[in-house]
Amino acid sequence: MKTQLLTANEIDRAAEIIRAGGLVGIPTETVYGLGANGLNPMAVRRIFQAKGRPQDNPLILHIPDASWLELYCQDIPDAAWRLAKRFWPGPLTMILRCKKRTPEELRELEQGPVCSATHFGPHVIPDVVTAGLDTVGMRCPAHSMCRAIIQAAGVPVAAPSGNTSGKPSPTSFQHMLDDMEGKVDAILDGGDCQVGVESSIIDLTCTPPRLLRPGGIPLEELQLVLEDVELDPAVTRQLGKEERPRAPGMKYRHYAPKAPVTVVRGEPPRSAQYILDHIKDSYWDGVICFNEFAHWFQDYPVEQLGGSLDSFEHARRLFRALRAMDASGVKHIWAQCPDSAGMGLAVVNRLNKAAGFRVVDA
């Protein structure tokens, strides 16, 4: 397939492709996404094919403003409106109950082509988007081009991150091309992503609300709006074989570069010293470290995460660093682990998952 490379002034073309059932790589403030018409099961199915994504891992539905929630969700709690008011547009995904089709709508579907009832399912959002769950992830992105595309398409856009399944998410146009050129209809160049990690996902269908994935909105900020938030165990540790994660995506290996990663926890000078003491080979061992320590590793392939206290910069640079390590061909990656306050929780979560939770204490 020839992938059209679109520029910022071709929003309408991107929207047209989505409306017609195509796939478009779309810049968002978090990471690049792979978008399709969220009401078209055939189009959404192509997302799973292009990414090699397991069918049981649901997608997030992107809408241009909070008023669209009522079109696709029901039993919306007051907390959802408060969160939307405070954080939308922005990097927050809310898990809400899917709106059910009316009996008349279901009858109409059943009388339609043989396949239509099974394709669409009992909710107003096709089952392929939600992986058959009765809940749906909803987000209103802040990136101006992304919102303009959704507005112009006039449909909710189902979109996971635009990477090949299992790989680090794309945070630049080039990363998106690297993974998806030839597999999707178009990719729109919106520059580098400003947040760099995916949205925070909060489940509002349980009490108390539960943070399923830390992301672009820090937990501490969510706590200013919600009285009580539970942290899903899958955020901080590897789940046991018998445990079922609440976000189906959490059970898969994620964000993983080709080389194994060892995450080193501890005060930055200690973790840097630990790496220096244990690193062996200046050709095959790479290092992801804070800027202050880069000169310690000048004989090694090194990627800088930003200053040790700047967790927003760590978020912006992490996926790029993992991809750069892949490109350098190293066989083992050592990474300094940031503090997990604020944006740090999302960065540490992505690093730990990239490492398959191979973490050592310095």
> Which chain residues interact with Mg ion by CB under 5 A?
161
Half-sphere exposure of 327 (CA within 13 A, CB side): 11
Rounded CA separation 57/349 (Å): 18
Cβ 324 to ligand AMP shortest distance, Å: 21
80-83: Cβ within 8 A, 24+ apart: 80/204, 82/225, 82/226, 83/202, 83/204, 83/222, 83/225, 83/226
In sequence order, the 6+-apart residues with CB closer than 8 A to the CB of 250 are: 212, 213, 232, 234, 239
| 174: nearest Cα among 165, 156, 157, 162 | 162
CB closer to ligand AMP out of 18 and 212: 212
Q: Does residue 248 touch ligand AMP according to CB under 6 A?
A: yes
The site partner of 139 among ligand AMP, Mg ion, none (C-beta below 5 to 8 Å per kind) is none
| Choice from 35, 126, 196, 249 touching ligand AMP (CB under 6 A) | 249
The end-to-end CA distance of the chain, in Å, is: 49
Strands 92-98 and 210-213: unpaired
Q: Does residue 58 touch ligand AMP according to CB under 6 A?
A: yes
In sequence order, the 6+-apart residues with CB closer than 8 A to the CB of 177 are: 3, 5, 187
Alpha helices, DSSP H, located in 163-202: 173-180
Contact of 256 with 250, CB cutoff 8 Å:
no
Q: Does residue 200 touch ligand AMP according to CB under 6 A?
A: no
CB closer to ligand AMP out of 133 and 276: 133
The site partner of 262 among Mg ion, ligand AMP, none (C-beta below 5 to 8 Å per kind) is none
Rounded CA separation 133/96 (Å): 11
The site partner of 155 among ligand AMP, Mg ion, none (C-beta below 5 to 8 Å per kind) is none
Q: Does residue 184 touch ligand AMP according to CB under 6 A?
A: no
Q: Does residue 164 touch ligand AMP according to CB under 6 A?
A: no
Number of residue whose CB is nearest ligand AMP: 249
| Choice from 4, 57, 238, 328 touching ligand AMP (CB under 6 A) | 57
CA-only gyration radius of the chain, Å:
21
Q: Does residue 95 touch ligand AMP according to CB under 6 A?
A: yes
For ligand AMP, which stretch binds (CB under 6 A), given 78-86, 217-225, 244-252, 306-314?
Answer: 244-252
Rounded CA separation 337/264 (Å): 6
Q: Does residue 212 touch ligand AMP according to CB under 6 A?
A: yes
Q: Does residue 257 touch ligand AMP according to CB under 6 A?
A: no
Q: Does residue 198 touch ligand AMP according to CB under 6 A?
A: yes
The tokens 């399709």 sit on which residue?
36
The 59-88 contact track toward ligand AMP, x by CB under 6 A, reads -x----------------------------
Cβ 211 to Mg ion shortest distance, Å: 17
CB closer to ligand AMP out of 188 and 234: 234
CB closer to ligand AMP out of 142 and 287: 142
| Choice from 3, 130, 304, 349 touching ligand AMP (CB under 6 A) | 130
Rounded CA separation 327/313 (Å): 21
Where do contacts with ligand AMP occur on this chain (CB under 6 A)?
Answer: 57-58, 60, 95, 130, 133, 135-137, 160-161, 198, 201, 212-213, 246-249
